[in-house]
Structure 1
Amino acid sequence: MMKPVKMAVIGGGSSYTPELLEGIINNQDVLHVSEVWLVDTAEGKEKLAIIENLARRMVQKANRRIKIVATLDRRDAIKDASYVISQIRVGQLNMRRNDEYISIKHGVIGQETTGAGGFMKALRTIPVMLDICRDIEELAPDAWLLNFTNPAGVITEAILKHSNVKVVGLCNNPINFYKKFAAAYNVDMEDVSINFTGINHLIWITDLYIKGQSKLEDVLTGKSETYEAKNIPSFGWDTSFLQSLRAIPCGYHKYYYQTDQILKKQLDQFKNNETRADKVQKVEKELFEIYKDPNVQEKPDALEQRGGAYYSEAAINLIKSIHLNTKKVHTLNVRNNGTITCLPDDVSIEVNCVVESHQITPLQVGSVPPQIRGLLQNVKAYEELTVAAAVSGDRGMALQALTLHPLIPSSDRANRILDEMLEVNRQYLPQF
């Protein structure tokens, strides 16, 4: 008989939580989750209450015996948990909007996980996540922490470097690739095998297999169907570019490989007050109106517009692999330890890993070609400096991080952005 499992969701008032709950309910027979604790902060109290009520209705409709507890006491939620899932947003969507608007106003791309916007989100979030980790170390030392909090790679790296928690970072990017290629080739997801190289939101597919046959050339020569994520603008890749890259970029590469087009589009959105942050605020509002309806007893389809579709499927699949010790391969954010030879050992990378109940082991990637290595090392160095700046509150380190980022053209621009961001984020940045 398996022991009952307590799961704590930090950021339980998130609009994504119903998808996670759906996964827990559907896998109750194998996971034996007995209680799900949803924890949030005082400013997310209203959303938490709505999610709590929906969660109870979902459990009731599915006729499952899962205790749902909503609380503002994080320590209660974490105590003796087997799994802690983190999906927090420090400063909520208003600060995300500020991150985007300040960036675009200074003529650089505004995005929540990379560039100046991702940098600011990391500075706000890392101290809070490390604080959560101290609670986990004390109250649930054996728990696995599944980190979805963005920027997921940077946050995971900060935890790997500054805590003893068993952490693994997750993103819905890889699972979306599996789904898209399975659909494009009309096969099951089990028949798709993908080699990933890189870091979170900067992964390259270096080979793609369908039933053991490499299909990389199909995509590089433009034969395969598209593989874009819905919330990333599609400008189409130039096939001659792909053939010389010898890899399939992820959607986030658009910010680096097609900076001019993206920036032009963002400047237009900025003028009309309709950036991605504005859209997300609107979708979120609509979702919570649906969640409030006492007749809604399952995850609404509208959630897929939110841009994080299938993230909970990735989470539940991973938990199943840990829990049942299946030794399956998952694409995760873990400590490098020599997996990608051109990066330091102690940084976070996103690669295929074998998952066991006691450990997660990355599969060797080895050396990478210079057309991948150049951008990868640059962005990783920015991430290393960002973690150091967030932990130390060192403004000089923060300036170096921003200046180094490929999307920020000069130290002058970085300085001006940093000044404004530190001012706007003052209440969230006591370390500075």
Structure 2
Amino acid sequence: MKLAVVGGGSTYTPELIDGFARLRDTLPIEELVLVDPAADRLELVGGLARRIFAKQDHPGTVVTTSDVDAGVADADAVLLQLRVGGQTARQQDETWPLECGCVGQETTGAGGLAKAMRTVPVVLDIAERVRRANPDAWIIDFTNPVGIVTRALLQAGHRAVGLCNVAIGFQRKFAALLDVAPGEIHLDHVGLNHLTWELGVRLGGPGGENVLPKLLAEHGDAVADDLRLPRQVLDRLGVVPSYYLRYFYAHDEVVRELATKPSRAAEVAAMERQLLAMYGDPALDEKPELLAKRGGAFYSEAAVDLAAALLGDGGSPVQVVNTYNNGTLPFLADDAVIEVPAAVGADGPAPLAVPALDPLYAGLLSHVTAYEDLALEAALRGGRDRVFRALLAHPLVGQYDLADGLTDRLIAHNREHFAWA
């Protein structure tokens, strides 16, 4: 089995490598190719990857290359974890929206639109190269914004599934609080990427006992602290929103916070410099503890599980993924991309039935899906008016003067990435 990781020079990658090494019986990789245009980073990450494999007696080989076509040739699956523009672009995404009094974040709001517009054309070009190399290969997208990027891939006819670590993070957190094995926890996880709610927490499987009321009653303070939301919000909702809902439920509070502290991009850039220095140490043969603060917790387990299921070699029968709606949420179009539990096999994911949604959640999902429609149109076709329409449709913008100001800033900060600008 051959897997390729595009964006393999990311400081995330040792987390993925550690999972591949530990879970080699689930996903028996013979050749792993790390693809990245940044040759200096790639060699540091690649060297550590080989040492991790060697320490854990993994028999597979690790290859590094800056040539996408060579890297994806004959690959059974390709994982996408790239960041177009790097941390410099992320820094911009997180700062210029604040000038208009809007949240600065890399996956939602105006910053999220900027990232989508930079990313979609690049991902589609890579996907075409994958299709030419092996039309049967699966593309697993971890590149944000996952929902929009996955929809672009699916609309172009690629064998693609979107992956996020929010659900597996909740599964692990809830399992620890309830003192059960993670595999015992099934989530009624419903929504769009980075816009989801845990409507139920079930023991033993999709039809198991819903212990969410017990979880909130006994551990509500701990869950609320993690989400940085007041405990009474969880009690009133009776569900657990993803931490990205804080940008919607406490937008103005978040804007005030972001305006008075260093950006997350600046924090990550400093962390990356430390990590890369560590990766260059020939004595290091395991992922460093600092990597846990970088983000992407449990990404490796989720990626291994998904790849194994898609390639027919194992994996959990039910996994939370991003895929076409196809009637799962009846108030959304079939070709909307949603994030829900699905039965995953060699033919791809098939979403499971989910609980009926309260209008409080269905309304916001409909609103953000409309934005995502327009965002993808802007990413594919460009043009100031399409950018403006997408921003005006976003529930965190929604005013023509804000949309106008944000449009000008988005284009000015990303002109080098837009052929039409």
TM-score range normalised by the length of the shorter chain: over 0.9
2:370 to 369, 372, 381: 381
Distance in 2, Cα, partners of 1:295 & 1:321: 35
Distance in 2, Cα, partners of 1:326 & 1:309: 19
* Displacement after TM superposition at 1:26 (Å): 1.9
Distance 1:208 1:30, change over 3 A: closer
Letter in structure 1 aligned against 2:403: A
Q: Does residue 195 in structure 1 map to residue 188 in structure 2?
A: yes
Letter in structure 2 aligned against 1:168: V
Aligned match of 1:120: 114
Judge conservation of contact 2:177–2:219 (CA < 8 Å) in 1: no
Q: Does residue 268 in structure 1 map to residue 268 in structure 2?
A: no
In structure 1, the gaps of 5 or more residues are none
**TM-score, normalising length from structure 2?**
0.95
Q: Does residue 308 in structure 1 map to residue 296 in structure 2?
A: yes
Distance in 1, Cα, partners of 2:212 & 2:272: 37
Aligned match of 1:417: 406
1:24 to 20, 26, 36: 20
Tell me the matched-pair count. 417
Q: Does residue 360 in structure 1 map to residue 356 in structure 2?
A: no
CA RMSD of aligned residues (A): 1.7
Distance 1:275 1:27, change over 3 A: same
Q: Does residue 236 in structure 1 map to residue 229 in structure 2?
A: yes
Q: Does residue 227 in structure 1 map to residue 223 in structure 2?
A: yes
- Greater shift after overlay, 332-341 or 241-250? 241-250
1:247 to 226, 239, 243: 239
Q: SS in structure 2 opposite 1:350?
A: strand
5 Å matches for 1:22-171?
A: 22-41=18-37, 44-161=38-155, 163-171=156-164
Aligned match of 1:216: 212
Judge conservation of contact 1:136–1:165 (CA < 8 Å) in 2: no
Q: SS in structure 2 opposite 1:236?
A: coil
After superposition, the C-alpha distances for 1:150-180 in whole angstroms (9 at most, x for unaligned) are 111111111111x221100011100000001
2:3 to 2, 7, 23: 7
Judge conservation of contact 2:228–2:243 (CA < 8 Å) in 1: no
* Displacement after TM superposition at 1:65 (Å): 2.3
2:281 to 272, 293, 305: 293
Letter in structure 2 aligned against 1:247: V
After superposition, the C-alpha distances for 1:52-78 in whole angstroms (9 at most, x for unaligned) are 111122222223322211111101111
After superposition, the C-alpha distances for 1:264-283 in whole angstroms (9 at most, x for unaligned) are 111111xxxx1111111111
**TM-score, normalising length from structure 1?**
0.92
* Displacement after TM superposition at 1:365 (Å): 2.5
Distance in 2, Cα, partners of 1:59 & 1:261: 45
After superposition, the C-alpha distances for 1:295-323 in whole angstroms (9 at most, x for unaligned) are 10111111110121111111011122233
Judge conservation of contact 2:26–2:315 (CA < 8 Å) in 1: no
Judge conservation of contact 2:190–2:198 (CA < 8 Å) in 1: yes
Q: SS in structure 2 opposite 1:108?
A: coil
Letter in structure 2 aligned against 1:259: H
Judge conservation of contact 2:26–2:314 (CA < 8 Å) in 1: no
Letter in structure 2 aligned against 1:242: L
Distance 1:378 1:222, change over 3 A: farther
In structure 2, the gaps of 5 or more residues are none
* Displacement after TM superposition at 1:286 (Å): 1.1
* Displacement after TM superposition at 1:103 (Å): 1.1
Judge conservation of contact 2:97–2:110 (CA < 8 Å) in 1: yes
